[in-house]
Structure 1
């Protein structure tokens, strides 16, 4: 009997590994091998044309001593600090509003969620057309027509304006997925809890703090982690809307990697930059995982 059980277990295990094999092959080809090759490149001075020259840790040292790297990292961190709480809070507020019954709810949900499923090229080029500096751009044309402005305005002329619009456009673009996450979490909350809280005299804010927030806490941890990763990967908005300007004030760490790797063709330094980014993201992910694990354990107790 035990032999039959062991054979069945072996067969089931083998079948499971066979099902995983296609994914594992693609994982090795497109993730593991490029990762290992990136390590090799980071130790070389290579400009595509010509022979790669081994330089050891020189690329890492030059990146570490480059003030533009630290400026780009600072810009990225500041974007994350401002945008992540804003988008998470906006997602929760919109989810709470959309969780109620009102006329036109489906249209409102579609309006908030649909931009998330459009590609960056269409979204960002549309915004560049709207916020262009030329008089024929949509915002300038209509604002002049109704008398709010008298001359065409460059909406990205100062660092503050450029970052404000990048954050607004990013929030409008990606908040929809957060709304769906929080809507799903809100609909799992037993309505009896709110009814009991109302009988105890709890107001809306107290209900949010003591009922809503604990129920959506784990979803919120996941959403924060997702948005931080997206923030550290900020590239499309900068590339299309500002080109890193004005005067490099919107240059992010990934955009800096692009400039070094593709425009200057310093592939070794670009690989070193990617590893610095990797270290930052892994460190944050470890902290986030520890907090999430603690949150889950406290919820189970």
Structure 2
């Protein structure tokens, strides 16, 4: 009875199921993946010998891994800023709409609910580099003959994936910013209007400062989401042309499930995991320092 009361008083009985699932579906796979990264595990069940850090050393020496990492970082740099700014602009517009505002909010958020396979195939049909593609057909009807290889030209393939991702996922950032706008007290705007502030000044002096924490959350989530890009590339380009759009996760997939080298793929994925953790910590430190400077 005393032991049962001890568990209940400290809430351990309520959090025990969560910790059980957390250990089973997160901690155990992490530990198992780390173990496989130190061995020569093969998807066919062969191998399994301990090789230490040889997989990590091989991955760090592989130029294909570095090129895949560069593609991942390049996509992150190209997509993060437009996704954050577009989400903010859409939220500002929807927040001030007075006619059918629910329709605008639904239509802007709806693409985010689509599965990645549907989005990839949809945009593959739109920008297919031939007369079959809807984009080329529309340009042809207005007298333009672009002849652009949207997904077959290295100059445009990554930009096409960025555009697809922008259309697909900006609704999530839009929703976060809209919630942040609705949480801003109305009396701040009324006080600014009494002081003679125009719309631009209210945006700079009231709206954006009050959305600073929301922006920090949006940027962190967007960075993590962009770094983990896989679905769009796999469906639309398979990493081409000439591996110019292959992200690191596709590199891991190819070595793990096509090359059957689970141990090596695990090592590459853990190197990528360490990079994501480092970027997250730097972003959190930057955000914390900015808050302290603003507080002073």
TM beyond 0.5:
yes
- The corresponding residue for 2:283 is 288
Deviations 1:70-113 (A, max 9, x none): 11111111111221111011111110111003323222211110
Q: How does 1:120-139 map to 2 (within 5 A)?
A: 120-139=116-135
TM-score with structure 1 setting the length: 0.90
Distance 1:168 1:212 in 2: 27
8 A Cα contact 2:136 2:146, kept in partner: no
- The corresponding residue for 2:9 is 12
8 A Cα contact 1:115 1:173, kept in partner: yes
1:288 offset after TM fit, Å? 2.5
8 A Cα contact 2:84 2:218, kept in partner: yes
8 A Cα contact 2:42 2:262, kept in partner: yes
- The corresponding residue for 1:76 is 72
Deviations 1:250-285 (A, max 9, x none): 111111111111111111111111111111111122
- Specify the SS of the correspondent of 1:115: helix
Instruction: Mark the CA change 1:132 to 1:271 in structure 2 (over 3 Å): closer, same or farther.
Output: same
Distance 1:10 1:80 in 2: 46
* Structure 2 unaligned residues grouped into runs of 5+: none
Deviates more, 1:138-147 or 1:189-198: 138-147
Kindly indicate whether residue 173 of structure 2 is the aligned counterpart of residue 178 of structure 1: yes
Kindly indicate whether residue 196 of structure 2 is the aligned counterpart of residue 201 of structure 1: yes
8 A Cα contact 2:239 2:247, kept in partner: yes
1:292 offset after TM fit, Å? 3.8
* Structure 1 unaligned residues grouped into runs of 5+: none
Instruction: Mark the CA change 1:148 to 1:285 in structure 2 (over 3 Å): closer, same or farther.
Output: same
Instruction: Mark the CA change 1:150 to 1:97 in structure 2 (over 3 Å): closer, same or farther.
Output: closer
- The corresponding residue for 1:26 is 21
Q: How does 1:83-98 map to 2 (within 5 A)?
A: 83-98=79-94
Distance 1:160 1:39 in 2: 37
Kindly indicate whether residue 245 of structure 2 is the aligned counterpart of residue 273 of structure 1: no
The alignment's C-alpha RMSD in Å is: 2.3
Deviations 1:46-79 (A, max 9, x none): 2223222221111100110111111111111111
Deviations 1:175-223 (A, max 9, x none): 1111111111111112222222233333333322221112111111111
- The corresponding residue for 1:259 is 254
1:146 offset after TM fit, Å? 4.5
Distance 1:189 1:51 in 2: 59
- Specify the SS of the correspondent of 1:148: coil
Of residues 31, 35, 39 in structure 2, which corresponds to 1:40?
Answer: 35
Instruction: Mark the CA change 1:175 to 1:21 in structure 2 (over 3 Å): closer, same or farther.
Output: same
- The corresponding residue for 2:111 is 115
Deviations 1:124-161 (A, max 9, x none): 1111122223423333344434533286x532122221
Deviates more, 1:122-131 or 1:243-252: 122-131
